Copies of this chain bind each other. A is one copy, B any other.
Amino acid sequence: MSHLSTLQSSTDLLSTSTIIALTIFFSLLCACIVVGHLLEESRWANESITALLLGLGAGAVVLFLSKGNSSSILVFSENLFFLYLLPPIIFNAGFQVKKKQFFKNFTIILMFGIFGTVISFCLISFDRYLVLKLQWLTFAANTAGAFLLFKRIGVTSLNTQDYLAVGAILSATDTVCTLQVLNQDDTPFLYSVIFGEGVVNDATSIVLFNAVQSIDMDNINALISLKLLGTFLYLFFSSTFLGIAAGLLSAFIIKTLYFGRHSTDREVALMMIMAYLSYMLAELLNLSGILTVFFCGIVMSHYTWHNVTESSRTTTKHAFATMSFIAETFIFLYVGMDALDIDKWKASSASAGTFVAVSTTLFALVLVGRAAFVYPLANFNTCIRKRGSSNIEFRQQFIMWWAGLMRGAVTIALSYNQFSNSENNNTKDSALMITSTMIVVLFSTVVFGSITKPLIEAVLLRHTKPNVSDATDIPSLEELRIMFIENGEANDTGENQPAAAARRRSGLRLLLTHPTWTVHHLWRKFDDRFMRPVFGGRGFVQFVPGSPTGAADETSGT
């Protein structure tokens, strides 16, 4: 039978190592799903933590079986992460986000995202050599802090660019973790603010990271800082525009050709491919693919989703969620398995004390850095809004600070990019930085991730009074009545000039008192009159009860 066995062992058209790796990964994914399901009732565990711990366990087993030589089955690949795993997660987040809630808090989200950057840039132009603050206050604190503290611990070989990179890497809040821990239905305000901040933040973080890698840090001046700000704004708006354009194009194609007549599969395939294409195009044009695919998801759920057949609706809603779920679980599994990569730990050749010291330092910087901008900005937000109802309570500020502390796969991917390709010759310190980042990610995900749910329950939900900030910006009944009457008149009379003028005047008054709500109202009118007849959407193709974002969404505005 020896002949047979040689025949058998040679039947590999495919590389065996890839197959082994894939088999192990997919077995672990199955295990994650089943274990995650069994732990569903637990307040402390969630799917990320299960995946992370299972990944760690599997890594340990592989390490043991290979007798301490290697634990990594697949090495962490930035391509895999940024090209295949991240897009479905962010797209699904855009597709399933409660659009009304998201846009109602859009000012706060943008303030957290953009004003933070502006403040940092102003600081740079005043104080350009000593404390190089390129992003957020977090970033400044992280950078300066890292610089001062690391000198004491004895990590000396890193250059200015490396410190700036550490700041950029650690200021990226992980959207994937946030999605897993926060619940859109229980805490809609927090969910939309922290998740929205995370999306904007991701873009900012990547822009600044690239800037740090490419700019000569010794010649920084106010002009360059302003150019960086310009670049950021250009990136933000062009990425958003690209995402919206891709979404509208898909809506237009599906509405015009009316694929449903023939095939559900084609509709679903077209939606998937267009969404992915928008991400790829953004990356190709050096824009932020994350922002693009997020807005593409929003537009698709608003227009395209309503143009397809009933079965396509069910399919897309669940298929996108499933793909996102698989990608999330895969990422955490991946991070868990990669954490025990023995080569990196050996390469850093540092004592356990150094690891603990560096990791603690980094983690403390994350804590302080986030506190440094969440509390001031939240209070600033309270100041510029006059009505008492729009306050962000201290409790909520605390949760906003806490929930944004988790760091995830984006941090690890950026850290690899900086420290494994660094021109820095001292590979020991680079390896130390990668492993320390990994410790921060593991610790924040496992510890903070498991505490967050019970914490939110304890801090927010036990207070039985309705959460005030979740009711922000809803005008009084009286104003609503006026608005609805006007709305009805406008639809009936159309060209009636005095009525339109009165409406405009009244609109201006409302814009001053309830800016967000009025913008939303104006958008609804614009949407109904110009957008929906062209791109379809609810009611313009066929009425459906329920939308991917839940039945309660959108209806209150019409």
Contacts and interface: CB of A to CB of B under 8 A. Distances in A.
Contact of A23 (B40, B264, B277): B277
Nearest to A315: B318
Given A26-B273, A262-B40, A230 B4 contact: yes
Contacts of A79: 14-15, 18
A231 B315 contact: no
A230 B4 CA distance: 9
A210 interface: yes
23 contacts: A4-B230, A4-B231, A6-B214, A7-B214, A7-B227, A8-B286, A10-B210, A11-B207, A13-B210, A13-B414, A15-B79, A18-B83, A19-B83, A22-B83, A23-B284, A29-B273, A30-B270, A30-B273, A37-B259, A264-B322, A269-B326, A273-B326, A319-B319
B259 A22 contact: no
A312 interface: yes
A207 B231 CA distance: 57
A12 interface: yes
- Max chain B CB contacts within 10 Å: which of A213, A253, A315? A315
A272 B33 CA distance: 12
Contacts of A149: none
A79 B21 CA distance: 13
A318 B319 CA distance: 9
Contact of A318 (B8, B16, B20, B312): B312
Contacts of A224: 3
Interface of A: 3-4, 6-16, 18-20, 22-23, 26-27, 29-30, 33-34, 36-38, 40, 78-79, 82-83, 206-207, 210-211, 213-215, 224, 227-228, 230-231, 253, 257, 259, 262-266, 268-270, 272-274, 276-277, 280-281, 283-284, 286, 311-312, 314-315, 317-319, 321-322, 325-326, 329, 413-414, 417
A267 B215 CA distance: 48
A266 B31 CA distance: 12
A319 B78 CA distance: 27
A346 to B, nearest CB: 27
Contacts of A322: 264-265, 268-269, 272, 315, 319
Given A83-B22, A273-B26, A8 B283 contact: no
Given A34-B253, A315-B317, 8 more contacts: A7-B227, A9-B286, A13-B417, A18-B79, A23-B281, A33-B270, A268-B319, A269-B329
Nearest to A16: B284
Q: Which 7 A-B pairs have the closest CB atoms?
A: A315-B318, A11-B210, A10-B214, A319-B319, A268-B322, A23-B280, A314-B314
Contact of A10 (B213, B227, B276): B213
Copies of this protein chain in the complex:
2
Contacts of A273: 26, 29-30, 33, 326
B4 A227 contact: yes
A250 B253 CA distance: 38
A484 to B, nearest CB: 35
A37 B319 contact: no
Contacts of A253: 34
A265 B321 contact: yes
A280 B312 contact: no
Nearest to A281: B23
A417 B83 CA distance: 28
Contact of A26 (B6, B228, B277, B321): B277
Contacts of A276: 26
A8 B37 CA distance: 44
Nearest to A310: B314
Contacts of A319: 268, 315, 318-319, 322
Given A283-B19, A322-B272, A14 B78 contact: yes
A27 B278 CA distance: 10
A272 B326 contact: yes
Nearest to A223: B3
B269 A13 contact: no
Given A79-B18, A273-B30, A3 B227 contact: yes
Contacts of A206: 11, 13
Given A7-B210, A214-B6, A318-B315, A14 B82 contact: yes
Interface centre among A7, A15, A213, A321 (most CB of B within 10 A): A7
A259 to B, nearest CB: 6
A238 to B, nearest CB: 11
A8 B231 contact: yes
With most chain B CB atoms within 10 A of its CB, the pick from A26, A210, A264, A414 is: A26
A267 to B, nearest CB: 9
Nearest to A84: B22
Contacts of A266: 33, 36-37, 325
Contacts of A268: 318-319, 322
A91 to B, nearest CB: 14
Contacts of A257: 34, 37-38
A445 B34 CA distance: 44
A20 B265 contact: no
